[in-house]
Structure 1
Amino acid sequence: MTSIDLNADLGEGFGRWRLTDDERLLSVVTSANVACGFHAGDAATMRRVCELAAGRGVRIGAQVSYRDLAGFGRRAMDVPPAELAAEVAYQIGALEVFARAAGARVAYVKPHGALYNRVVRDEEQARAVVDGVVLADATLPVLGLPGSRLLELAAKAGLPVVTEAFADRAYTDEGTLVPRHEEGAVVTGPESVVARSVQLARHGKVDTLSGRRIGMRARSLCLHGDTPGAVDLARRVRAALEASGVRVEAFS
């Protein structure tokens, strides 16, 4: 039976402001990408999400970002490699405190937003992220886009790599994500998101924004927690995957 991990970005609030419905999403997903305070999240939020995830047996991942609370980590930045490596390790370490307190551990690392897109092609920034992960824990898996410089360098450094696809984001013909400022970058129709999820999990293919169908082999499937109706959509995706014969479980 085909299996796939289902992950979502969680803990994306700050102080009294909350963006994601963490508790309900944690009843659906198998992996939680927890904001570590640089693009969203704070100490209390991180602690709460780790406790909820551990209680439900959901794997905890560190979603690391550029230091950009005002821009939600989606603004392009030029950060010196040594500084970026230290900040990646810092974010992982902060989340690990709360994961351990909840009786769990940080199980993987995934970049967020502008950093995620930057390390697809930028070798210097990708290497800095890898250096930061190694500094924090040289056994941690790294989630990223298939064919990215990040995953290539992570593998060379001896880190486990996990390929990821997005059910609710549009792709270019080259297999990269369409920039968010472009029309059609986010797939909003529930039927389309569900159909894309099944196609990705069962056939390893995705339709690009231009209409081409390309290969996209992924071990984990991401749904964004900050989109309208995220919980209901996640439930529909999981139900459709299971109905099509796909086992939804955390990646090994």
Structure 2
Amino acid sequence: MGPFKPFRDLAWGLAARGVAVLRFEKRTRAHAGRMAGSMALTVKEEVLDDAAAAIALLGQTREADPRRIYVVGHSLGGQLAAVIAAASPPVAGIVMMAAPARPVEELLEAQSKFLRKVAGNNPDAVKYTDAIEAAARKLRAMTTDTREMVLGAPSAYWLDLRRYDPLRETAGFARPILLMQGGRDYKVTMDDFAIWKKALAGKPKAAFRDYPMLTHEFVTGDGPGQVAVPVLDDLASWIKAGGAIAPAGNN
């Protein structure tokens, strides 16, 4: 994520607060050379399989309590957290950080609109937003007959992602849920957060926490930084409490 290392910050921050963490590189990163250009890649290979393997490993780890395993996902990982948990019954709860509630093409269009507004006619920004809008059009027009790469992933990946209904799947998740959102996030916005709150309304085990000054990476946005301390405090407290209480603050 550019100059930011949110997964590192989360791992070290939670560990310092007494919460053990297992994190792993996506295989598309760990084996980028081998997987580049694959037209068969789907969400299952990129996210779900390895997440299930990680949960299984924790369940067999002597030092870990198999009854207190939580899935913490960011962005796409947050969006699919309930899907991951459903495939691994020992999961005690899920944390969804900056989780999209809308289809990818809608997110891209909203990002482009925001960037055009703040960047004006800056040539680099115009080039970037043109590319984003072109990708959104391709995703909207994509069918099962499509075979092309969009945003570095094959059509099979995007069509597979389209199969999931994260709002329905998350609403059907019976264990504790914590949604966390940065107010300065333009990639996944407070509009998504509002959609999640509506979809999960009435679920007593769902907690919501927003941070008005934080970005998509949960930093302040004023240059390179680390995941904000309140995020780490809230996340660790919620996990230690078994997801039974909402963290203090906006909800």
TM over 0.5: no
* Richer in strand (by share): 1
TM-score by structure 1 length?
0.36
* Richer in helix (by share): 2
Bigger Rg, which one: 2
TM-score by structure 2 length?
0.36
